């Protein structure tokens, strides 16, 4: 008899935060099959045949015969990687048999709202002790002109446009998420990255915070659990949305100023948060709120976790894992 090719269905592209540690996703690959019933006894092995960004990992992706995905991100690394994998059986290739499944790949690029630049042309007003857009109640849409402001914005903007163009020119299935401020458990936030988590960690430990500017700056923030749902929905809709970009954030319903977050954290922790003020950082936007209506239509997705609920969940995680922050005391 002639060996038939094995097959499988890969799971959603995983999203993890920087310095998240070892990851295990049970049942990531499903519908794993050696072929027809007479080949069910064959041994199956997943082979990773390509990795476009090995430096992103301390231990590269691997998939067990039962479909469990494991990998460990490298310390202080961020970005995206395209992983190519195939399933192989031990039935051989005699008489034209096929022992390897078709390779499967998919890419989601994690971009940023910084591709829109400082947005100095948008009217900003102060209301109730916070900055707001004068006439953009739904936030900034994907139709806003790109302006790669700051070296950080330039690096993200280039990746954003490459991802879109590879779909247009080469037919690669890609989608870009222009993400606003993401926060959540397992995020080891520091002053320069992951500000919501950094504020929550510092508040729990009684550390002094530096506020750059007057603290009235507004951001829309998104719980990572809502972000993961967006990634899963993008994977499921990959054929119809390839080559597009979507704003993914908390939207107008989930905005906070720096001072408002501090007040909320003081209420949750029951202790004052020491702070000092410093001049605003170059390129910092006084307001950024993303318009997420395009993602709502294309992905049937919208944020579900309110920021106050998400921050309390984050504080609970910080309190439950003091060993992760012992070095900061």
Question: Going by DSSP bridges, is the β-strand pair 83-89/30-33 parallel, antiparallel, or unpaired?
Answer: unpaired
User: Burial, 249: exposed, middle or buried (Cβ in 10 Å; 0-12, 13-18, 19+)?
Assistant: buried
Q: Which of 279, 275, 114 is nearest to 212 (CA)?
A: 279
- Give the span between the Cα atoms of 226 and 231, in whole angstroms: 9
Q: CA 223, 225, 226, 232 torsion: positive or negative?
A: positive
Please confirm, yes or no, whether 152 is among the known catalytic residues. yes
Q: What are the residues facing 125 on neighbouring strands?
A: 132
For residue 195, give the nearest of 256, 118, 271, 140 by alpha carbon: 256
Instruction: Determine how many CB atoms are found less than 10 A away from the CB of residue 168.
Output: 11
From the candidates 116, 131, 149, 152, give the one annotated as an active-site residue. 152
The 8 Å CB, 24+ separation contacts for 36-43 are 36/4, 38/1, 39/3, 39/4, 39/89, 39/91, 42/6, 42/89, 42/90, 42/91, 43/89, 43/90
Catalytic center residues? 152
């Amino acid at each position: 008899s002639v060996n038939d090719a094995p097959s499988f269905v890969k799971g959603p592209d995983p999203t993890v935060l920087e310095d998240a540690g070892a990851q295990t996703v049970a049942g990531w690959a499903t519908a794993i099959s050696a072929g027809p019933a007479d080949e069910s006894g064959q041994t199956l092995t997943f082979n990773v045949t390509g990795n476009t960004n090995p430096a992103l990992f301390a231990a590269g992706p691997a998939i067990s015969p039962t479909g469990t995905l494991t990998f460990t991100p490298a310390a202080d690394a961020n970005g995206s990687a395209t992983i190519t994998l195939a399933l192989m059986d031990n039935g051989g290739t005699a008489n034209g048999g096929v022992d390897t499944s078709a390779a499967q790949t998919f890419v989601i690029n994690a971009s940023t709202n910084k591709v829109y630049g400082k947005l100095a042309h948008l009217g900003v007003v102060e209301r109730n002790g916070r900055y707001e857009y004068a006439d953009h109640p739904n936030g900034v849409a994907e139709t806003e002109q790109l302006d790669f402001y700051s070296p950080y914005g330039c690096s993200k903007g280039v990746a954003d446009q490459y991802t879109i163009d590879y779909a247009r020119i080469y037919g690669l299935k890609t989608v870009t998420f222009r993400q606003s401020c993401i926060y959540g458990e397992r995020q080891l936030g520091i002053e320069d990255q992951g500000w919501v988590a950094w504020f929550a960690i510092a508040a729990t430990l009684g550390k002094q915070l530096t506020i750059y500017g007057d603290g009235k700056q507004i951001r829309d923030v998104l719980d990572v659990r809502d972000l993961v749902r967006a990634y899963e929905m993008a994977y499921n809709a990959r054929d119809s949305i390839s080559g597009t970009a979507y704003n993914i954030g908390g939207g107008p319903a989930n905005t906070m100023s720096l001072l408002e977050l501090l007040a909320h954290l003081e209420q949750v922790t029951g202790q004052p948060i020491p702070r000092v003020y410093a001049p605003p950082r170059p390129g910092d936007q006084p307001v950024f709120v993303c318009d997420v209506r395009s993602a709502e239509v294309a992905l049937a997705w919208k944020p579900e976790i309110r920021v106050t609920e998400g921050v309390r969940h984050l504080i609970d995680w910080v309190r439950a894992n003091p060993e992760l922050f012992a070095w900061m005391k």
